[in-house]
Structures are given as structure tokens and as C-alpha cells.
Amino acid sequence: MPPLVAIKHHDGIISVPQGTLNDWPMAQFASTKDRGIVVKALGLELTSAFLAVFDASTHQIIGEEALLRASIRRKALSAADVFKSAQGGGCLVEFDRLCRSLHLMNHLAGSNKRRTLFLNVYPELLMSSGTQHIEAFERILQDQGLSPADIVLEIFESTIPAGQTAHLAQAIKNYRARGYRIAVDDYGFLNSNLSRLLTLSPEIVKLDRVVMSTISKEPAAQAQQLLCQFVERLHDIGSKVVIEGINSTEQLTLAQESGADMLQGYFLSEPRYLNKDSFVHVLP
């Protein structure tokens, strides 16, 4: 089975993964000038925006996180609501796979496809994906000159099913053996669990934006100490640290002095469509 299928479009040809077409035979793909590749499925119009990930030392953009943009009759919907609807409809895994394929297609259409692509993935997908799907996804990467090492699979800690940590850890081990890196996102928010983090052993931990928002309200010296301790603890377990939610000069200074490895936030760069802006700027 070919990993990519050419779909004719009035602006040319769109290469769509065969597995995606199997999951969504009625999906309609199109290429737009302002938003890149879009797909209509479940009555929704979906596309990808990307948020830059900066190296804290060099201030260069080293990757981009794919973010789902969804709308119905031109009314924007939150990604959380869309995924909740897919879960209620019993098609969460298939929908997650559709979004991952869409993000990859838009990433490859950009001018900097050699940058690391951070993909948000639901734990259920990692735990349910068979070898056939994994290999098909990797053939797509190989056809475009990429490898699993160019991909970081992000898991929102809050979405990890109760009692499934060991099962998820085994799934992560299988993906890691193929070359993927794993990130745990939204750490430090609500039910964060250091024991669970040790079991999953992610290469990257992304501190939830609530951490920066909360700590930055403290006096400067105390805020710096708290954030440095947070980052140091995560370094001690072998994970690199991304600080999210940087929205001011003061927060940027705090993050840069914390010892974190990577930075994200609207103060540095807002989400945008790759074909509209190629992320050529760097940190001030």
C-alpha cells in the first residue's frame, strides 16, 4: 500500500497519507494561499498553525509546535472541544491520526521542514497504534527526507488515563526505539505527578504556562529561585525543559536565567501559518 496518494486539486496536487484516506474516505482536502492545506471532516474545517520553539542559549528557532485550528461555518472552535467531540463520537484515535497527518503535510509544505516538529498526540493513539500505522507514518517521513528523530511527540499530562501509566510507558518505549523523542506537556498544572514523570522518562518536559504566570507574580529574587529549582529538578531526571507562556520582557528574563533549554510564548512569536510566515526572526 503506498504511503501517499495524490489528490487532484484546482491549485495542483496534494499528497495525502493512504492511512488517512482509509480512516476518512469522505474527507475533502484543499490547498489555500493564506492557511496552507485544510481538510473538511466531521462537519469541521481543520488546518494547522505553528508556534515557534526557541533555543534558550542561541535564541534561534529550532522547531515548531503544530496547533489545530478548527471551525464550523466560519466560527472558531477550541481544539479541546473538538477532541472532546471526537472522543464522544468514538473516533478519537482516528481523529488524532487525521490531525497528525494534516500537521505533517503543512509542515512539509513550509520553507523550513528541517526544523523539529512537535506534534500533540493523545495517549490512546500511542497505546493503540499498530506497527502498520507506525511504519506507514515513517515511510511518509522518509519520502520527504525526514526521520523519526525530527519529530517530538507531545503528550498532555492531563490526558493520561488513570491507571494506564505502565501501558503508556511501554508504548513510549516502542516509539523511542524507533527514534522518536517524547515530551510531556502541561507539567506543573493540576494533577502533575513526579512519580509518573519518572516512569515515562520523557526526553523533554514542557512547563505549563500557569507555572510561569504564577511564579512571575512573586518578588523577582524569589521567582528566580523557584523557577531555577523547578528546572533543576527536571534536569536531574534527565529531561530537557521548555518554558511555555512567556508573555513579557520580565518573564523572558526570568526564563532565560532559569537554566531552561527551550522557550515558547506569544511574546516571542505568535502562532502562524507556515506558508504565510517562514519564521525568519529570532529572539530580541
pLDDT tens, residue by residue, 74-113? 899 999 899 888 888 888 888 888 898 899 888 888 777 6
> Is 277 a domain residue?
no
The answer as to whether 167 is a domain residue is yes
Q: Is 75 within a domain?
A: yes
CATH number of the domain at 143, please. Answer: 3.20.20.450
Integer CA distances (angstroms), 172 to 84, 118, 121, 198, 221, in order: 23, 15, 12, 13, 38
- 124's grid cell: 490512546
Q: 1 and 10 in contact (C-beta within 8 Å)?
A: no
Based on the structure, what is the number of domains in the chain? Answer: 1
Residue 254 belongs to a domain: yes
For residue 159, being part of any structural domain is answered with yes
Tell whether 276 is covered by a domain.
no
Whether the predicted model's global pTM rises above the 0.85 cut: yes
Residue 272 lies inside a defined structural domain of this protein: no
pLDDT digits (tens, 9 = 90+) for 210-238: 889 999 899 989 999 999 998 999 999 99
Determine the structural domain holding residue 253 and report its residue range. 43-263
Does some domain include residue 62? yes
